[in-house]
Amino acid sequence: MLSKIAQILKPSPTLALAAKAKELAAQGKDVVSLTVGEPDWPTFKVAANAGIAAIEKGLTKYTAASGIPELKKAVAENTNFLLATNYTAKEVVIGAGAKFLIYAALAMVVDPGDEVLIPSPYWVSYPAMVGLVGATAKIVICSKGENFKLTAPALKASITAKTKMLILCSPSNPTGLVYSKAELHELAQVLLANPQVLILSDDIYCQLIFNGDNVAPHLLQVAPQLKDRLIIINGASKTYSMTGWRLGWALGPEKVMSILGDFISQTTSNASSIAQYAALEALKSGQPELKIALATLTRKMNWCVDQFQSLKLFKVIPPDGAFYLWVDVSGFFGKSIAGTKIQASKDVSQILLDSYFVATVPGVEFGADSYVRLSIAASDSDLQKALLRFKDFENSAI
Ligand code: PMP
Ligand code: GLU
C-alpha cells in the first residue's frame, strides 16, 4: 500500500522523544525533558500582540502563497542588515516553518541520484529530507579534533560529479559550535572552485550566539560571490520563541525563490497569515526582547557548562551558540548502570529516561554515537533537577 519513500520514512527522533517525555509526565512521572530544541520562554510580546491584532483586524484570510510583501521586505532588510547583503523582496519566500522550506528547497533543486553533502554531526532531519526527494545524503564525518566542523580538505575530498548541494548549519544543531570567518573562507575557496555545488545555509540559530556579536559569521560575508548559488533558510521559531507559529523564510536566487513560491502554492498555500503579521513585528521591533532572551540563554548555558565540568564521565564541549549541549558520554561505555551495560548513546539516553526521568536525544540520531544532546532552553528548576540526576547517574556507574 505504501510508496517506496514512505517505507523508509522514520519520524523525527527529537519530536518523538519530546512526545515520549510528555506522555510520561502525563502519567504523573517527574520527567525533565531536555529533548526538543525550543525556548521555554514565551513568544516575544511584540509578536504575540501583533498576532492578536491581526486576528482582531480580520487578517485571517489567504495571503499571497509565498507571503505578504511587507514581511518579505522586512526579511530582506533584516538579512541585509545582519550580513551586509543586498537581497530584495523578490529573493524572499515565506513558508510554514524553516523545516518545510528546507524540504521544499531540496525538492526544487535536487534530483533523484544527486548527492547532498551533510557534515556530521547533523540535524536529524537533513538526511531524512534528502531521502524524501530521492537523492543521496552523503555524510561527511567531522571529528572532535576538528570541533565537529567541515574542513576545506574534507569538503574537497567529498565532492564528486554527482554533488548537487552542501548543507551548512552554524551555529550547529547539535553541537552549538560556530564556524569562524577564517574557516568559512577556506570552505568558500573549495566551493568557488566547484561551481556546480549549491549551498543551503541553515541560519536558524544565527542570532543566538554568546560572544556579543549580533550574528554568526556567514559564508556570504567572506564570499559574497556565492550569493547566486546559495539558499538561506531562517525563521521566527528560535529567535523570537515562535516554534508553534510555524513561520520560516528562504532567501536565494530569484529563479529558485519563484519556483519555491509555486511549490508552496501547490502544497501548503501561504504560511499562517496571523503568524506572518506576528513575525513582521518581531523582525521590526523584537530586538530588545532578543537581548533579554540571549542574556537568559547565556546564563543558563554558562551554568550548565560549569556544572558539567565538575563531573568526570560526562564531558561537555562548550558551545558558541544555539541552545544545545553536546555531551561526550563515551566514558560510560563498558560500564553498567541499573543492571544495564552501556555500549552506545541510546543506552545512556534510555537509562537516563527510565531510571532518572531525564529525557535526552542520543547522539546516534545526529550521526555520532559517543554523545547525547541536551536542549538547555529549559526552566532553571528543570536544569537544576537534571544536573542532580546526571550526578546520581554518574555515581551509580560501575
Ligand atoms: N534547522 C535546524 C538546524 C533546526 O534545529 C530546526 C528546528 N526545528 C529547524 C531548521 C526548523 O525550524 P522551524 O521549522 O521550527 O522553523
Ligand atoms: N530543531 C529542533 C530540535 O532539533 C526541534 C525539533 C525538530 O524540528 O526536529 O530539537
Residue range 354-371: average pLDDT? 96
| Displacement of CA 302 from its chain's centroid (Å) | 20
pLDDT at 113: 94
Nearest in space to 208 (alpha carbons), one of 230, 186, 238: 238
- pTM of this structure: 0.97
- With a cut of 90, say whether residue 338 has pLDDT above it: no
pLDDT at 349: 95
- With a cut of 90, say whether residue 282 has pLDDT above it: yes
Element (H, E) at 158: helix 152-158
Which residues are CB-neighbours of 270 under 8 A, at least 6 positions away? Answer: 62, 63, 64, 65, 66, 67, 94, 264, 276
Nearest in space to 41 (alpha carbons), one of 323, 321, 387, 374: 323
Average pLDDT score, the chain = 97
Output the nine-digit C-alpha cell for 261. 513560491
Kindly indicate the confidence band of residue 8, based on its pLDDT and cuts at 50, 70 and 90. Answer: confident
Ligand nearest to the CA of 279: 1
Ligand nearest to the CA of 203: 1
Residue range 149-156: average pLDDT? 98
pLDDT at 202: 98
pLDDT at 137: 98
- With a cut of 90, say whether residue 169 has pLDDT above it: yes
CA atoms within a 13 Å half-sphere pointing along the CA-CB vector of 107: 17
Tell which atom from ligand 1 comes closest to the C-alpha of 172: 3
Residue range 128-148: average pLDDT? 96
Residue range 333-361: average pLDDT? 95
Output the nine-digit C-alpha cell for 251. 532567501
CB 147 within 8 A of CB 177: yes
Based on C-alpha coordinates, what's the Rg of the chain?
Answer: 21
Asked if residue 169 has its Cβ within 6 Å of ligand 1, the reply is yes
Ligand nearest to the CA of 365: 2
How far apart are the CA of 15 and the centre of ligand 2, in A? 7
Kindly indicate the confidence band of residue 374, based on its pLDDT and cuts at 50, 70 and 90. Answer: very high
What whole-number distance in Å separates Cα of residue 182 and Cα of residue 88?
A: 28
Residue range 69-92: average pLDDT? 98
Asked if residue 14 has its Cβ within 6 Å of ligand 2, the reply is yes
What whole-number distance in Å separates Cα of residue 120 and Cα of residue 75?
A: 29
Output the nine-digit C-alpha cell for 330. 563515551
Residue range 321-344: average pLDDT? 96
Parallel, antiparallel, or unpaired: how do β-strands 358-359 and 340-341 relate?
unpaired
Which residues are CB-neighbours of 395 under 8 A, at least 6 positions away? Answer: none
How far apart are the CA of 38 and the centre of ligand 1, in A? 9
Output the nine-digit C-alpha cell for 205. 540559530
What whole-number distance in Å separates Cα of residue 236 and Cα of residue 50?
A: 14
What whole-number distance in Å separates Cα of residue 173 and Cα of residue 371?
A: 13
CB 164 within 8 A of CB 116: yes
What is the SS3 assignment for 139?
strand
Element (H, E) at 169: strand 163-169
Residue range 273-300: average pLDDT? 98
Percent of the chain with pLDDT over 90: 95
Ligand nearest to the CA of 14: 2
Mutate to test the pocket of ligand 2, among 40, 99, 323 (most ligand atoms within 8 A of CB): 99
Q: Which domains does the chain have, with CATH numbers?
A: 4-42+288-396 (3.90.1150.10), 45-285 (3.40.640.10)
Asked if residue 125 has its Cβ within 6 Å of ligand 2, the reply is yes
Crossing angle of helices 345-356/380-395, nearest 10°?
110
How far apart are the CA of 96 and the centre of ligand 1, in A? 11
pLDDT at 347: 95
Tell which atom from ligand 2 comes closest to the C-alpha of 174: 4
Mutate to test the pocket of ligand 2, among 38, 203, 208, 238 (most ligand atoms within 8 A of CB): 38
- With a cut of 90, say whether residue 200 has pLDDT above it: yes
